[in-house]
Structure 1
Amino acid sequence: AYTTEAMRLVHERVATPSQIDAIMRDCCGFRLGPLELADLTGVDVNYPVSQIIYQGYDQDPRLKTSFPHLSLLEAGRLGRKSGLGSYRYEGGKPVDVPSPDHVTAAAPAKSVMLVEPDEKLEAFAAQIGWTLLEEDDGECPLIGFPLGEDATAFAIWTGADPARLVCVDLTVETHSRVTLMAAPGADVAVIDAVAAAITTPARPVTLIKDSPGFVAQRIRGMIANLGCEMAQIGVATPAEIDLAMKLGLNYPSGPLELAEQMGLDDTLTIMENLQQVTGDDRYRPSQWLRRRALLGLPIDTAD
């Protein structure tokens, strides 16, 4: 899920490889981003492995990789070993990597309005130093925090003005990097004002294109969901699955631990909304996750 969902994000042009990798390193605690990891292991290794897994589990769409993965292989862009993959390499080191940061000289926004009351949003606004408006003045930025939705869907069902809506992902760490997105046609001046207010030397902003689940929600949600599915079909116990992924793939947390950290309700909401917005069974929630979220049980509760 780590690499395959990143490939899907590249395919949809949601974000560049350097943006995806920076978000997963800085906000989620992974030592390597998914695309730099794919370059390290070699596309001639990880693409065939993805196909073995996909075919071995009866072509479950949740395990399918995306066209950019195959195109890298067919083009001979195997990663570090060939000098070219998602990045270009010289002497085994990446060169000319585009910056993942959104840089603006705009004046920072001082007052904003939250689209919905939310404790995380309120705490984030206090951290930035924003004044929160209780009534929309028709000009201020509107700040939203969707789960598993894109800014477009969020604007439609909340009634927020999509031209002034800027969405922020607060499911992850925001001290080292903040991810923003907005709907097509959004006012660039509003986006820049929000980004300018958030940006510090230690906390850059990454601006992605409109995407259900941002970047981190999609990748982490897929990791958690597939870990739950492994528990559901009896591949191993929850503890064994978590240990294997931490030791074998150097994940900062195991998949089921990740679901607990994100919150089972939020993880389920992310997956359900991803499935609804995209219409893709790739995001079908595992029954293991669904039952424990609905019953309020720990993720490692046995059947």
Structure 2
Amino acid sequence: MTDLAPPHPYKQAGIVGTGAMGRGIAQLLAQSGVTVRLFDSNPEAVAAAIAQIGDTFARLAEKGRMDPAAAKAASARLQPAASPQALAGCDLVVEAIVERLEAKRALFAELEGIVDAGCVLASNTSSLSVTAIAAGCARPQRVVGWHFFNPVPLMKVVEVVNGARTERGIVDDMVALSRATGHLPVVAQDTPGFIVNHAGRAYGTESLKALSEGVADIPTIDRILREQVGFDGSGFRLGPFELMDLTGLDVSHPVMESIYRQFYDEARFRPSVITAQRVAAGLLGRKTGEGFYRYADGKQESPAEPPVPSVPVLPPVWVAPGPRQALVAETAAGLGATIETGEEPSAAALVLVAPLGLDATAAAGGLPAERVVAIDTLFPIATGACQRRVLMTTPATRPEWRDAAQALFAADGARVSVLRDSPGFIAQRVVAMIVSVATEIAQQRIASPADIDTAVRIGLGYPRGPLTMGDMIGASAILEILANMHRLTGDPRYRPGAWLRRRAQLGLSLLQDD
């Protein structure tokens, strides 16, 4: 237990369910000075869990990451429980059983007949309502959510979930216990997905939406989100389809559907028929050897990118007026293009536009669409400042002009992706939706802005928290992307919320609470 950790009342805890999550929670508690009794419907699983956690402590001691005496003491705090009755006398019981509401309700109802009135019942549920679980209890005020992420010892954030009838003092005690384990607690109100699984909807679902529109193929979308997006040099470690393959669609698709339905079909969380079909086909990802990608000996098979077109002579370039005109012109000139400066493009010019939230067709209004190519400028495009640039054509853009634009923007060795026409390219629409969902979580007071940012950054491994992402890009730019997408598509998933609109209008940080 850390010396600076605030005191908590828990001396003896019970763990029900000794799978990966139950074992991880037991390890944290034992390591923090709490005696832990482990129960599982399979007695052999309890013995295996105690042995495995003990081995973990021994390895930590061998590597110098844990004092040998402390490791021995922590192992001694792990005790088997032959039945639920053996959990009598616990101050806290944590369930980490199957993710089914009735199973959790039945367990807590049984435990209420065993433990003292003051014993806290905590659920590690990731997607079920803590309030609904507690509704089956005689004393729902003692039920709290305590949601860890896998692997528990390494994922240093935990959501303390306040059910509708949870006593505030219990939330405070669980926050203190979380800190004593070395984890960072974030407090969430009981809403579908809490903070992390709620905020995580945008990355996958918006990428699926772009895929369903035929904007680009799976590898291209993954490459863009890995290589184009960057916040002070940090980006997404995995593309959305790589991530879904790693998680498994049998896990991620039901969560998409569950959160969508629990929010009464909120358009921002609308799932995709693409994942439903792949689940039905058994294409679940790495675990089945095929998902969005094929896997041979555990290694992802991904097609090579097509070569950059060969263009003997680059045409002159004319850049449409707008706030990003100078940036695009300067970049194109640095790559060897001759820049036209007239009020209109000549008949020989490649026409470049740089929209936010618009498609290339809308941005090309009044311009020769057959020569128009759009470039995404939300993230750096200058020479030496980017790994990948992203272009987009109108349905009328002729191949020779598309090829000329691709050859130009690949001249310094940067990779270039070319999309079919889409409001918001790929990076704009995905990042804007990540920010949008987070601002709605803040607006609904599900958690504080700071906790939202912390939970999502650590829990999902994002390069920055979503509200910080919005601040780094600019709230007004995010608002413009969403407003333009909403206007063009009519889809309510893109409607900007009040939290975003007010802070953009007032020039405030998206982390500014009120």
Q: Is TM-score (shorter-chain normalized) higher than 0.5?
A: yes
Task: Describe how 1:58-77 pairs up with structure 2 within 5 A.
Answer: 58-77=264-283
Q: Within 2, Cα distance between the matches of 1:291 and 1:222?
A: 17
Match of residue 98, structure 1, among 276, 298, 303:
303
Shift of 1:110: 5.0
Between 200-209 and 5-14, the greater mean CA deviation after superposition:
200-209
Aligned to 2:417, what secondary structure does the other structure show? strand
Task: Describe how 1:1-303 pairs up with structure 2 within 5 A.
Answer: 1-28=202-229, 29-95=235-301, 97-101=302-306, 103-107=308-312, 109-117=314-322, 118-135=325-342, 136-156=345-365, 159-174=366-381, 175-200=386-411, 202-303=413-514
Aligned to 2:404, what secondary structure does the other structure show? helix
One-letter amino acid of the structure 2 residue matched with residue 47 of structure 1: H
**In the alignment, what sits opposite 2:124?**
none
**In the alignment, what sits opposite 2:60?**
none
- Is the alpha carbon distance of 1:289 and 1:102 closer, same or farther for their aligned partners in structure 2, counting shifts above 3 Å? farther
**Aligned pairs, number:** 300
**In the alignment, what sits opposite 2:120?**
none
Aligned to 1:206, what secondary structure does the other structure show? strand
Shift of 1:126: 3.7
One-letter amino acid of the structure 2 residue matched with residue 77 of structure 1: L
Q: Within 1, Cα distance between the matches of 2:260 and 2:248?
A: 18
Aligned to 1:81, what secondary structure does the other structure show? helix
Aligned to 2:318, what secondary structure does the other structure show? strand
**Residues 107 and 196 of structure 1 are in contact (CA less than 8 Å); yes or no, is this contact kept in structure 2?**
no
Aligned to 2:300, what secondary structure does the other structure show? strand
Aligned to 2:210, what secondary structure does the other structure show? helix
**In the alignment, what sits opposite 2:117?**
none
Find the structure with the greater CA-based Rg. 2
- 1:28-87: CA deviations, max 9, x gaps? 111000011000000000001111211222211001121112111111110111111111
Which gives a bigger RCO, structure 1 or 2 (Cα 8 Å, sep 6+)? 1
- Is the alpha carbon distance of 1:101 and 1:3 closer, same or farther for their aligned partners in structure 2, counting shifts above 3 Å? farther
Q: Within 2, Cα distance between the matches of 1:192 and 1:253?
A: 35
**Residues 335 and 411 of structure 2 are in contact (CA less than 8 Å); yes or no, is this contact kept in structure 1?**
no
One-letter amino acid of the structure 2 residue matched with residue 149 of structure 1: L
- Is the alpha carbon distance of 1:139 and 1:126 closer, same or farther for their aligned partners in structure 2, counting shifts above 3 Å? closer
Q: Within 2, Cα distance between the matches of 1:22 and 1:46?
A: 21
Aligned to 1:207, what secondary structure does the other structure show? strand
One-letter amino acid of the structure 2 residue matched with residue 143 of structure 1: L
Q: Within 2, Cα distance between the matches of 1:232 and 1:84?
A: 39
Q: Within 1, Cα distance between the matches of 2:313 and 2:236?
A: 30
Give the CA RMSD over aligned residues: 1.4
Between 8-17 and 112-121, the greater mean CA deviation after superposition:
112-121
Aligned to 2:287, what secondary structure does the other structure show? coil
- 1:177-231: CA deviations, max 9, x gaps? 1111110021111111111111147411101111000000010000010011110
Moved beyond 4 Å, runs of 4+: none
Shift of 1:91: 1.3
**Residues 110 and 129 of structure 1 are in contact (CA less than 8 Å); yes or no, is this contact kept in structure 2?**
no
**Residues 102 and 207 of structure 1 are in contact (CA less than 8 Å); yes or no, is this contact kept in structure 2?**
no
Q: Within 2, Cα distance between the matches of 1:199 and 1:189?
A: 15
What TM-score does the superposition give when structure 1 sets the normalisation length?
0.95
**Residues 8 and 66 of structure 1 are in contact (CA less than 8 Å); yes or no, is this contact kept in structure 2?**
yes
One-letter amino acid of the structure 2 residue matched with residue 264 of structure 1: A
Q: Within 2, Cα distance between the matches of 1:219 and 1:17?
A: 14
Q: Within 2, Cα distance between the matches of 1:34 and 1:264?
A: 24
Q: Within 2, Cα distance between the matches of 1:133 and 1:89?
A: 49
Q: Within 2, Cα distance between the matches of 1:20 and 1:186?
A: 21
Shift of 1:99: 3.0
Aligned to 2:391, what secondary structure does the other structure show? strand
Between 125-134 and 178-187, the greater mean CA deviation after superposition:
125-134
Q: Within 2, Cα distance between the matches of 1:237 and 1:108?
A: 55
Between 169-178 and 102-111, the greater mean CA deviation after superposition:
102-111
Aligned to 2:286, what secondary structure does the other structure show? coil
**Residues 335 and 409 of structure 2 are in contact (CA less than 8 Å); yes or no, is this contact kept in structure 1?**
yes
Q: Within 2, Cα distance between the matches of 1:278 and 1:127?
A: 35
**In the alignment, what sits opposite 2:17?**
none
Q: Percent identity?
A: 39
- Is the alpha carbon distance of 1:164 and 1:39 closer, same or farther for their aligned partners in structure 2, counting shifts above 3 Å? same
Runs of 5+ unmatched residues, structure 2:
1-201, 230-234
What TM-score does the superposition give when structure 2 sets the normalisation length?
0.57
